[in-house]
Chain A
Amino acid sequence: MELIIGGAYQGKIQYAKEKYNLTEADIHICDSVEIDFSKKCVADLEKFTFSCVQNNIDAVEFFKHNRHLWSDKIVICCDIFCGVVPMGAENRKWRQETGRLCQYLSKEAETVTRIFCGLEQKLK
């Protein structure tokens, strides 16, 4: 699994498309607790974790128990970790859960790349 992280609008999906030769059809854009793992790339993982928080699903446990689904994927998640502590309890939990998942995936990933202004920074 290749993990790509970076701030909002930094060009993470664009980078993945160029690097791995992907088209729109290869990318699943998360917007609920359902992820289509038939795609090569799973993007906006933070939206999956947001839905998990709303539906009381443990995102880390889900990933741990379904390794076979994502072990050969490109996973993209937004870095939402550098601001002040969010005011709302739900947003705090969202940040927490997304962070836990990113730490787990980062450990499991073959490569971890951070995107800054469209430029790659190899973290692992």
Chain B
Amino acid sequence: MIVFICGGSKSGKSSLAQNISKALSKDNPLYYVATMIPSDAEDKEKIRLHIEDRADMGFDTVECGTDIVTVLNTTDKNGTFMLDSVTALLTNEMYGDFGNIGVDIKAEERCIKDIRQLAETVNNIVIVSDYIFSDAEIYDESTELFRKSLADIGNNIAIYADIVIEMNFGNATVHKGKDIYETIL
């Protein structure tokens, strides 16, 4: 089962993803694939809150900031994986080491290929991404490339995902796979 959840900041994406992952995992291993590489105290605090939020849910946390397929080296592919988030993964793949102002234009292509490979290898995966596509700001070229790449990756996942969910203020709109979704939660 492949589930894709996309929504704005603090929309409840991760909470829903945790619940779906838990429901899908049954007795098999449950992995939280953490993609954010903390760069400051703010990131660390955000991570701490997420860890607190999923405490006692039975997740094994696997940290993987780039080359997402490598999580398979240390996990059981029969498990259920919660990938949180595509946004952080793309950030790491595109901007590389912090402080490097150049962008890797191959990042999008790599993310599309790697996420698909991971999704089609594991038993269940719940993929979380951010929705940053409906504002009236005019961005610099690098930020615009990031927005386009994140959208392209999401649109690609939506093609092969069994379920596609948009989150708004904790409410889920199921754009694809409504019948399957209702059997899970």
Interface set of A (CB-CB < 8 Å, partner B): 7-11, 78-84, 86, 91-92, 94-95, 98, 116-119, 121
Contacts and interface: CB of A to CB of B under 8 A. Distances in A.
A86 B151 CA distance: 22
A78 to B, nearest CB: 8
Given A10-B155, A82-B8, A116 B134 contact: no
B22 to A, nearest CB: 24
A9 B133 contact: yes
A91 B155 contact: no
A86 B154 contact: no
Range of interface residues on B (Cβ < 8 Å)? 20 to 34
Contact of A119 (B136, B152, B164): B164
A87 to B, nearest CB: 8
B158 A117 contact: yes
A119 B140 CA distance: 28
Contacts of A7: 131, 133-134, 151
A101 B111 CA distance: 37
B185 interface: no
Q: Which of B6, B133, B151 has the most CB of A within 10 A?
A: B133
Given A117-B4, A117-B175, A119-B164, A9 B155 contact: yes
B155 A118 contact: yes
16 contacts: A7-B131, A7-B133, A8-B134, A9-B148, A78-B134, A79-B133, A79-B134, A80-B135, A81-B135, A83-B134, A83-B136, A84-B137, A94-B136, A117-B154, A117-B157, A121-B173
